[in-house]
A = this chain, B = another copy of it.
Amino acid sequence: MNPVQMEQSEEASAKRKTGIVRFGVIGYGYWGPNVVRNLESLDDSKVVMICDKSPAARKRIQNLYSNIQVTAESENIMTSSEIDAVAVVTPVWTHYELAKTALENGKHVFVEKPFTSNVAQAEELIELAEKKNLKIMVDHTFLFTGAVKKIAQLVKEGALGKLYYYDSTRVNLGLFQHDVNVLWDLAPHDLSIMDHLIDEKPEAIVATGQSHLNSHEDVAYMTVYFPNKVIAHINVNWLSPVKVRTTLIGGEKKMLVWNDLEADEKIKIYDKGVNINNQQGVYKLLVNYRSGDMWAPQIEQIEALRQELGYFLNCISSNQTPTNDGHAGLRVVKMLEAATVSLGKRGELVYV
């Protein structure tokens, strides 16, 4: 499914009206409230029950949504016959058990990134969903932002030419995660974007990093080697005094800078490049630098999560496979697993 189809899905869904998808949502911490708010505001979905262990969270839900049931036990969601789909908005180490139970109970699953804690879990869930003809969508929200959709369009159209590199810096102070390191926390964003933009499968991964405050790495670097000389690099850091969300993407024809912290002009495309003439021997390279205009296209201003959930509803009602399905989630987990092995050896090349 290409970006245009992704965009049209919400509208299509609104027209078809094949019925309301009834959701149970597990987890109402940082991200869960956004999932609930969007599911409630979309025409084709409603939230029936929300599960959270925290009494304070359940109280907040009741104040805002008098018509949604709350529970401390996910079992109540799993066994409810009034629920068609489960949104798993919990820490990664719980994803596998919750998603598995939901699928076993015949419910579609929308699950936070990263999909699972390891490759085996992801593969099992994919198989289970396929057997039961249920949908899995992994919440790679960034794919539904105006910025990434514009970048994907430029890459697919060939505007950048052959890709050279993808280089992302994603650093800020905190938030410390208790159960994963900084790679598992922040890199899935870039890994899912790379998976979306780069056609080839990654060949090998090298990760380095360091923990300073507890056993989890709070600073980490990850290189991904792709075929055809494409290289990707991700710099993630929980201990940076400033917030940075900047990605450089270099291609043969054009290069772009995506600064996600810019209110406007998030993406700048540079008509810059290098033409090299190698015929005259290594010490007589003829290098020409091209330098031209810069262009910042207008970016669609939509809430990505809303669009993603609308697309999920549409995939369910029309029995389509989402772009960001379990396989996409698995590909990201594969890279994280390889990175973990490499990081454990302080930087070995690990084939994916």
Instruction: Spell out A's residues near B (CB within 8 Å).
Output: 66, 164-165, 167, 169, 171, 173-176, 178-179, 204, 206, 208-215, 219, 221, 223, 225, 229-231, 233, 235, 237-243, 248, 250, 255-257, 261, 263-265, 268, 270-274, 276, 278, 282-285, 287, 289, 291-298, 342, 345-349
Q: Which residues of B contact A349 (CB under 8 A)?
A: 345-348
Number of copies: 4
A215 to B347, CA, bound (A): 23
Q: Considering the complex of A and B, which 6 residue pairs feature the smallest CB-CB distances, nearest first? A: A206-B347, A241-B270, A241-B255, A208-B223, A210-B231, A294-B296
Q: Knowing A291-B298, A293-B298, A294-B295 touch, does A239 contact B164 (C-beta < 8 A)?
A: yes
- Chain B nearest CB: distance from A221 CB in Å? 5
Q: Which residues of B contact A237 (CB under 8 A)?
A: 165, 167, 248, 250
- Chain B nearest CB: distance from A290 CB in Å? 9
Check B248 against A242 for contact (C-beta < 8 Å): yes
- Chain B nearest CB: distance from A125 CB in Å? 24
The binding surface of chain A is classed by DSSP as: strand
Q: Which residues of B contact A213 (CB under 8 A)?
A: 274, 276, 278
Q: Knowing A164-B239, A285-B176 touch, does A233 contact B208 (C-beta < 8 A)?
A: yes
Known: A173-B273, A208-B223. 5 other contacts (CB 8 A): A66-B66, A165-B212, A206-B347, A242-B264, A347-B349
A202 to B276, CA, bound (A): 36
Check B348 against A347 for contact (C-beta < 8 Å): yes
- Chain B nearest CB: distance from A231 CB in Å? 4
Q: Which residues of B contact A66 (CB under 8 A)?
A: 66
Check B165 against A210 for contact (C-beta < 8 Å): yes
> From A171, which residue of chain B is reached at the shortest CB distance?
B248
- Chain B nearest CB: distance from A144 CB in Å? 21
Check B214 against A176 for contact (C-beta < 8 Å): no
A283 to B211, CA, bound (A): 16
Q: Knowing A223-B208, A257-B241 touch, does A293 contact B297 (C-beta < 8 A)?
A: yes
A231 to B171, CA, bound (A): 15
A66 to B248, CA, bound (A): 48
- Most chain-B Cβ atoms within 10 A of its Cβ — which of A208, A221, A261, A282? A208
Check A239 against B295 for contact (C-beta < 8 Å): no
A294 to B175, CA, bound (A): 20
Check A270 against B295 for contact (C-beta < 8 Å): no
Q: Which residues of B contact A273 (CB under 8 A)?
A: 173
- Chain B nearest CB: distance from A344 CB in Å? 11
Check B265 against A294 for contact (C-beta < 8 Å): yes
A95 to B348, CA, bound (A): 33
